[in-house]
Amino acid sequence: MKKIKIDSEFEVYESLSETPSQVSELMEHAVKARLRAYAPYSKFLVGAAILLDNGEIITGNNQENACYPSGLCAERTAIYYAGSKYPDAKK
C-alpha cells in the first residue's frame, strides 16, 4: 500500500473590495455565464470561468437534462471547451 497526502490551500477574502482584480474579473465572467445556464428543473443557475495561461478567459454554465441527473456542471463545460478550443494551453 502507498500513502498519498494531499494538501489544499485557500485564500478567503472578507469582502469583494479585498479581492484581487484578476479574481474579480473571473467572478464577473462567471456571473454572466450563469445567466446562460439551462436549469429548468433545479432552477439552480451556475457559471464558471477559467483563466488560461495564454490570457484567454473561458466560461461555462450548467446544462440540465430531462433525464436528471445526466446534465453537465458549469466547471465541466468550461474545462471541456478550453481543452477543445485551446488544447495546448494550461488550465
Catalytic residues: 75
Q: How many C-beta atoms lie closer than 10 Å to residue 32's C-beta?
A: 13
Q: What angle do CA 46, 60, 25 make, to 5 degrees?
A: 85
What is the SS3 assignment for 82? helix
